[in-house]
Amino acid sequence: MSQPDLPWYKDRTSSPPFSLAKKIYSNRSAAPPFRTLAFFPWTYQSLHTLWNGHSDVSQADWNAMVDAFSDAIAVGGSRKMYVFYTQQPRNPVCYKVPTSEKDLKSIPTDSINVAWALNPLTPLEPLVLFSHLSLLYIYNVKREALAGYLRGHGGYQAITSIAVHPANTNLFCTTSRDYSTRIYDLKLSPQQVPMNPCWPPGTGNSHAGAAHGLHMTEDEGKGIGRCIIVLMGGRSGGHQAAVLGAAFHADFPLIATCGLDRLVKIWHVPRAFTDMLVREDKPLFSSSRIHKARVLSVTWLQPDLLLTHSAPAVMKEHLDNPDIKTTFLEAGQLIVWRWLGLSRFFPAGREDVRQDILRGCASDYQESNSFKVISAVSFPEVQTQFEVPMLHVFQSPSHDPFVLFTYPKSNVIKMFNVIHLQPRKPPPFPFDEANLDLVESAERMHLGGPSRNIPPEIEGREINMASSTAEADGESDRLMACAMGMNGTTIVGVGVKGTIWIWKAQRLAL
């Protein structure tokens, strides 16, 4: 293929073919910001892959549903969830979270997380999952009504993210500041009576509650959805701080999680019983050696290839002298890495064999070295460790994996193709044994620079608000998050004062 025939996302020299098509903003001067968004994720072809192709829905009915919602985006605001339509002349849908005197006090990082899901019992009625603090709501977009709500995380800790299984869309998980991840099934109704496993030496069901990775002593919620699996936190093998992100594997019973403790973990998703809650406390992989600071998100790119990104890290200037407390801020990193243990737990030719219990050894779930970094790049430098990129990874069978990110209250969206990332340079070999000690000492003291082994900064293309609107200097033109959808033809950004920007591709070579 000649260079001019390349799609724009494969051509390093071409500029993004997006131009601002629409801007939606609030008439209120003190409108709260939009902080999260999610595109309607399914296409005509999705019917062949959802639930392994086992669906009674006709292709014509499915296509009609996709046509009705293909341009829909779910947006999380302050105590409100919205559904906007980027092309159709339809009024947006809004659901306001009920207020209560028992509401927890939120922190600046708390937001209404949003995700799309489907219940195979009603596959033509798309659902939006959204969270407010420790409660999870299930909204039926077609009926414009609430389908259910759930509570479950211990200590009333806020939910930090929602992830939906790419094939079995009735399965989804929530991560929380209570160190745990909970997996739910939309085909089931909420548990009204606790059905917890026994707590030895007792022989009856435990009533310890959600703080211990169990069902609450009160009813779980109303409508649809039930927690079936808990990936527990704690010193045995779980996260030891807030869990910030998760991603289901498309083909294997696996889920990856990441968190405030710098750990990335890969868990086996066991078969769940209908009534009894399944608890898992030992992952198949766990490592804190991939990132130096809290890990903000995790994404599966291939069966054994993952992409993670982290916040800036506060590093000591002088590692050998504990009396010198000076530090410097190392930029956050985006790392593509390979998990080397997939074929060990799922051997070739036996991928369809499903085990109820899958365990590794202690080195797997405590501090594993079973990974290989493929590529690493740094985000732009920032002033504080609290300025973190809001990142979105777009994946499609007809499109390369594409990363978009922006910083809160920024006016720039940066994007790049994952396949354009350069492999990490190997260390020189053979080593200079005579000068090895001197080199290591110089690196520890950061001679010749503020840090060592820092990956190069991300190179990519940009969408600048200044070139999209003449009012880019105003406070209302500041982004909070961005995403790509509709087969890579649309980019949406949400920002302060309830503003939404919609960029459309003007020319595409696919």
* Among the listed residues 375, 316, 392, the one whose alpha carbon sits nearest the alpha carbon of residue 36: 392
Long-range contacts of 69-72 (CB under 8 A, 24+ apart): 69/40, 69/126, 69/141, 70/40, 70/43, 70/486, 71/40, 71/486, 71/490, 72/39, 72/40, 72/126, 72/141
Specify the range with the lowest mean pLDDT, choosing from 18-27, 98-107, 131-140.
98-107
* Among the listed residues 305, 329, 299, the one whose alpha carbon sits nearest the alpha carbon of residue 317: 329
444-498 pLDDT tens trace: 444 444 445 788 999 989 998 766 554 544 666 789 999 999 999 999 999 988 8
Residue 397 in tokens:
């069978």
The answer, yes or no, to whether residue 215 has pLDDT greater than 90, is no
Mean residue pLDDT of the chain comes to 87
259-270 pLDDT tens trace: 999 999 999 999
Residues paired with 378 in a beta bridge: 333, 457
Average pLDDT over residues 118-125: 96
Residue type, 456: P
Cβ contact 263:295 at 8 Å: yes
- Could you tell me the pLDDT band of residue 316, with boundaries at 50, 70 and 90? confident
22-58 pLDDT tens trace: 999 887 777 888 999 999 999 999 999 999 888 899 9
pLDDT, residue 8, reads: 86
The span from the CA of 179 to the CA of 239, in Å, is 6
pLDDT, residue 225, reads: 95
Specify the range with the lowest mean pLDDT, choosing from 85-89, 295-299, 506-510.
506-510
Cβ contact 507:16 at 8 Å: no
Give percent of the chain with pLDDT exceeding 70. 87
The answer, yes or no, to whether residue 325 has pLDDT greater than 50, is yes
Cβ contact 440:460 at 8 Å: no
Average pLDDT over residues 284-301: 96
* DSSP letters for 48-90: GTGGGG-----HHHHHHHHHHHTTEEEEE-SSEEEEEESSS--
Specify the range with the lowest mean pLDDT, choosing from 172-176, 188-192, 321-325.
321-325
The answer, yes or no, to whether residue 71 has pLDDT greater than 50, is yes
Percentages (nearest 5) of helix, strand, coil residues in the chain: 10, 35, 50
Cβ contact 37:86 at 8 Å: no
- Could you tell me the pLDDT band of residue 429, with boundaries at 50, 70 and 90? low
Residue type, 398: S
* DSSP letters for 421-487: PPPPPPPPSS--GGGHHHHHHHHHTTTTSS-SSPPPBP--EEEEHHHH-TTTTSTTS-EEEEEEETT
- Could you tell me the pLDDT band of residue 330, with boundaries at 50, 70 and 90? very high
Region 17-50+71-100+112-186+221-347+355-505: CATH code = 2.130.10.10
Average pLDDT over residues 284-294: 96
Residue 182 in tokens:
């909970």
pLDDT, residue 468, reads: 59
Spatial CB neighbours of 164, under 8 Å, sequence gap ≥ 6 = 115, 116, 117, 129, 171, 172, 248
Residue in this structure with the two tokens 């209404």, named with its chain if needed: 112
The span from the CA of 126 to the CA of 396, in Å, is 20
Residues paired with 502 in a beta bridge: 22, 492
pLDDT, residue 362, reads: 87
Residue 292 in tokens:
């130096």
The span from the CA of 418 to the CA of 420, in Å, is 5
What does the domain layout of the chain look like in residue ranges? 17-50+71-100+112-186+221-347+355-505
Asked if residue 430 has a cis previous peptide bond (ω within 30° of 0), the answer is: yes
Average pLDDT over residues 303-326: 88
Higher pLDDT, 216 or 396: 396
pTM, to two decimals: 0.90
Q: 36 — phi, psi (to 5°)? A: -140, 155
Cβ contact 333:377 at 8 Å: yes
Residues paired with 377 in a beta bridge: 334
Sheet holding 264-268, edge to edge: 243-248, 254-259, 264-268, 285-287
For the chain, how big is the Rg over CA atoms in Å? 23
Average pLDDT over residues 145-165: 88
Intra-chain end-to-end CA distance of the chain, in Å: 12
Cβ contact 223:149 at 8 Å: yes
Give burial (CB, 10 Å; 0-12/13-18/19+) of 279: middle
- Could you tell me the pLDDT band of residue 160, with boundaries at 50, 70 and 90? very high
pLDDT, residue 352, reads: 75
- Could you tell me the pLDDT band of residue 376, with boundaries at 50, 70 and 90? very high
The span from the CA of 463 to the CA of 471, in Å, is 15
